[in-house]
A and B are shown apart, each in its own frame.
Chain A
Amino acid sequence: MAINWENERHAFNTLPVPQARVTQRIQAGLATAKPLRRRHNVRRVLFAVALLLFVCGLTAPAALQAGGLIPAFKQILDRPATPVEKLDPTANQLLGDLADAQRYRPLNTPAQTTAGIKVQPMGTLATAGLIAVLVDYSGPNIDPDQLARNPVTVKLSTGAPVGDVEHAAGKVALGHYRQVLVFYPPVTTTANIPSFALTFQALNGTKHALTFSGLQPERFTTTQHALALTHHVSQNVTTALTQLLVTPNAFLVDYTTTFTPTALTAQQAHAYSQAAWLSDASLRVNGRQIGSLTLGLSGTKLAQTRHGDALTARFQSQFTTRYRDSAQHLRALSDAPKGATIQFTVTLPGEPGGNRQAAGTFSVPVALFLN
């Protein structure tokens, strides 16, 4: 039998309807609409007020702090605070989170204001061969990229020279920028630097001279181990590990190259005198590698001495007291298995375009690195 849609429509249109009750329900529905509408309107007004208060609350401090509404909005649109990747890998790991000021020992240095920008050194972090300073900036039109390019010089109270100063800067809050400055004082006499001075030669891309003197880095404990590990590369060349200086977060390893320049080519002599570096340190158990130490700085030349025909160049490298295991997890050296050793390799540049040359490997028990 065939049933078509005409029939279905007819069946639908003849469904009985309780007229009075439906009319009543329509009236009831319309009656509930009025208070609901009023409630909707009240909610809409409340939402608008809340939004207005929120926007005012958000922009007013920024407008006061950053010198106006436009810079305030510009700063809202700036990149959010994220860990920086502008330092060397070890420093990034230690200091990359600009929002984390807890790591630093607070400094009681008064802030200085130049060109409307308030500069406040906040704290320092120090370990053997590394000092980091945290500096806060607030004011109008701050450009974190310019901050990171500000030339800064460091003068240590010990008189020891400081090479490059590394920078990283970023936004930590609205109208609030932060910079971390990292430098590497070579440790020849003492690892604890009594004080230092910072001079900013430019600020936010404009030339200014701003000096903060007498900044005292945090003091840390040091343990020194004299070593006498030597490796004869040839009849006229010897490399050696001479000293370890261990501190809570990092250690310094001193190594030397001793050679007779007249017995070598000029290129070889130059390499042993200037370019020997120690940047490879692996954690081993029974000869098997189980991890790698994180390098801080490698191949800082400390001194060169002469004994007769032989020259001795003294270098220094810095590593953190943490290592990456085979699963790339970062672990403290204190968690290393019993009997583990650290194997260092002194390396030289190869022939132009050639491979590097190993100029000696040295094994040191992990126990010596535990401060």
Chain B
Amino acid sequence: MTDSELLQQALRGDQNALATLLQARQDKLYRTAFFYLHNQADALDVVQEVALQTMLSIHKLKHPAYFDTWLVRIALNCTFKQMRKLPAIPPTPSSQDPTSASDLHQDLQRDLAQLPRRYQEVIVLYYLHDRPLAEISAVLHLPLGTVKSRLNRGLALLRQKGAVAHGYQLGK
């Protein structure tokens, strides 16, 4: 059965069809949560919450073709919600002269988390999940121009304030 057929069944309230769709995307869901939370237990909690919220709001999905983007958005919202519940962790000192890919990766994660949520959302969807701008625009209910400006503004903030200023090539 194709994704499209499964989705139609899920939209009609079929829980098994939705379970199949979610399991096919479970890596993405888990990684999205883990990217921010850096903790398996918290990331698993988020995955469970995403499954619950998806089941409760699948009937609100307006563009079935954009199911993946819609799902990542739910995952991001649940992750942000989970982050609010957790005690604030002081940021680790930034590496002034990152010498390895691993250092820079950690810097990016930390700096991204410092951005306003509206910028994080588009950057994660576009760069990490490789979603097309038009799809992000439809799922976030934002004009395409707004999505682009948020993306540019978010990247500019990363350049100005983040440790990623060290030679990052922010083009895709």
Residues of A at the B interface (CB closer than 8 Å) are 1-5, 7-9, 11-13, 15, 17-19, 21-23, 25-30, 32-34, 36-37, 40
Contact yes or no, B35 A12, CB < 8 A: yes
Tell me the smallest distance from the CB of A9 to a CB of chain B, in Å: 6
Q: How far apart are the CA atoms of A8 and B40 in the complex, in Å?
A: 20
Q: How large is the interface on B (under 10, 10 to 19, 20 to 34, 35 or more residues)?
A: 35 or more
Q: Contacts A26-B19, A29-B55; is A8 near B127 (CB within 8 Å)?
A: yes
Q: Does B52 contact A (CB under 8 A)?
A: yes
SS class of chain B's interface: helix, strand, loop or mixed?
helix
Let me know if B108 and A8 touch, CB within 8 A.
yes
CB < 8 Å A-B pair total: 103
Main secondary structure of the interface of A (DSSP, over half): helix
Is there contact, CB below 8 Å, between B29 and A22?
yes
User: Quick one: given A4-B168, A21-B44, are A26 and B26 in contact (CB under 8 Å)?
Assistant: yes
Identify which of B34, B49, B169 contacts A4 (C-beta below 8 A): B169
Q: Which B residues between 22 and 65 are near A, CB-CB below 8 angstroms?
A: 22-23, 26-27, 29-31, 34-35, 40, 44-45, 47-52, 54-56
Task: Take A5-B170, A5-B172, A12-B128 as given contacts and tell me if A22 and B105 are in contact as well, using a CB distance cutoff of 8 Å.
Answer: no
Q: How far is the CA of A315 from the CA of B130 in the complex (A)?
A: 93
For the complex, is B91 an interface residue (Cβ under 8 Å from A)?
no
A13 engages B31 (CB within 8 Å): yes
Seed contacts A26-B19, A29-B51; 8 additional CB < 8 Å A-B pairs? A11-B105, A17-B27, A17-B30, A26-B23, A26-B48, A30-B51, A30-B55, A40-B56
Which residues from A are CB-within-8-Å of B127? 5, 8-9
A115–B147 alpha-carbon span in the complex (Å): 66
* A29 & B48 in contact (Cβ 8 Å cutoff): yes
Q: Please name all residues of chain A whose beta carbon is closer than 8 Å to the beta carbon of B45 when the two chains form the complex.
A: 25
B36–chain A nearest beta-carbon distance, Å: 11
User: In the complex the two chains form, is B47's CB within 8 Å of A22's CB?
Assistant: yes
Q: Which residue, of A5, A27, A40, has the highest number of chain B Cβ atoms within 10 A?
A: A5
> Which of B22, B30, B168, B172 meets A3, CB within 8 Å?
B168
Q: Which residues of A contact B27 (CB under 8 A)?
A: 17, 19, 22
Which chain B residues have a beta carbon within 8 Å of chain A's beta carbons?
Answer: 15, 18-19, 22-23, 26-27, 29-31, 34-35, 40, 44-45, 47-52, 54-56, 98-99, 101, 104-105, 108, 127-128, 130, 167-172
Kindly list chain B residues whose C-beta atoms are within 8 Å of the C-beta of A33: 15, 51-52, 55-56
The answer to whether A26 touches B22, judged by C-beta atoms less than 8 angstroms apart, is yes
Task: For the complex formed, measure the closest distance between the CB of B129 and the CB atoms of chain A, giving whole angstroms.
Answer: 8
Minimum Cβ distance to chain B for residue A107 (Å): 62
CB neighbours (8 Å) of A34 from chain B are 15
Q: Are A3 and B101 in contact (CB under 8 A)?
A: yes
CB distance B49 to A29 under 8 Å?
Answer: yes
Assess the A3–B167 pair: CB atoms within 8 A: yes
- CB of A13, distance to nearest CB on chain B (Å): 7
Pick from B52, B101, B104: contact of A29, CB below 8 A. B52
Chain B min CB distance to A117 (Å)? 52
Distance between Cα atoms of A32 and B99 in the complex (Å):
46
Question: Complex Cα distance A8/B112, Å?
Answer: 12
A36 to B172, CA, bound (A): 42
Which residues on the B side are within 8 Å of A21 (C-beta)?
40, 44
Interface pairs (23), CB distance under 8 Å = A1-B98, A2-B168, A3-B168, A3-B169, A5-B169, A7-B105, A8-B105, A8-B128, A9-B128, A17-B26, A22-B27, A22-B47, A26-B22, A26-B26, A27-B19, A28-B48, A29-B47, A29-B50, A29-B51, A29-B55, A30-B18, A34-B15, A37-B55
